[in-house]
Structure 1
Amino acid sequence: MYEESKNNYKKVFNECIKQTEKLTLQFPEIPLYQIVLNQLEILKVRLIDKEITISREELFDKYSFGSIAAKNFDYTIYGNNLMFVYGMSYKYLNLPDKLKT
């Protein structure tokens, strides 16, 4: 279960980028990893760095890494992290910074 907070979202997002960079270097012959990395980097700038909202429709139209994760990395930590980042993208700006304990 993932904590739905900005702090956790950023943490998981950064883990996804690091893991995707590692996979891109490890398997340069597989273009899928570079596609996912490009989409993650664009989304990070937009959401986290510039805090520009993204709608569900725009997310589904412009970014495919969520469906790529579901299809190719199902039931792995990497796949679950990608799906969390993808699924929470349109909600990010409305998330609390951290959950109250």
Structure 2
Amino acid sequence: MSTPTANHNSPRRHRIADAAGAFGLVVVEILALVVIFGLWVLSGWSLDQTDPHVPDPVRGYLAAYGVLAAMMAWSAERAARRHAPATAATQGVMAVVTVGLILVWATA
């Protein structure tokens, strides 16, 4: 009687790893976007009612969003080269959404 051997190169196993990696990257990127926005909001927060505090200029925070978008686009390109379609698609969508947020935030 032969025992079944584990197939470490199965397509199903690669799809699961690809989906898990894509999900993890999206969670980390959304967390980074929220933290950057939160830092900008907190820069204008003041507990002193007599001295209203003006928030920092948005330029630096938009630059941080731009760096994140560039990293997302780079990882989408790398995932496409390594035949990881779920990661490539989610990173591409996240890069486009981040660039959209930059454009909306810059014009507001």
Q: TM-score range by the shorter chain?
A: 0.3 to 0.5
Which entry has the higher C-alpha Rg, 1 or 2?
2
Q: Which has the higher contact order (CA 8 A, sep 6+)?
A: 1
Normalized against structure 1, the TM-score is what? 0.37
